[in-house]
Amino acid sequence: LVVVWLLTISLCALSSEDVLSKDAGECAICLEELQQGDTIARLPCLCIYHKGQVFYEWFEVNRSCPEHPSD
């Protein structure tokens, strides 16, 4: 159930909350810096990642947050 919920959250349409308001360190999926204005995906655990092809490819294979894999 959690796996389906995470995947559903990751595939939701963009909203105004999907744009990063301030720099936030490194994206654990693509390893690029998260910078203000970047389009992001926010998971239920509140971790954020760049939203894009690499993000979708990660969740096709892993189906979990890379920072909280056991959640």
Q: Rounded to an integer, what distance in angstroms lies between the CA atom of residue 42 and that of residue 70?
A: 17
SS3 at position 27 = coil
Query: What domains can you pick out in the chain, each with its CATH number?
Result: 19-61 (3.30.40.10)
Instruction: Supply the DSSP symbol for 13.
Output: P
Task: Give the residue carrying structure tokens 């693509």.
Answer: 30
Taking the complete model, does pTM exceed 0.85, yes or no?
no
E strands, 1-71, are 40-42, 48-50
- pLDDT tens for each residue of 24-50: 999 998 999 999 999 999 888 889 999
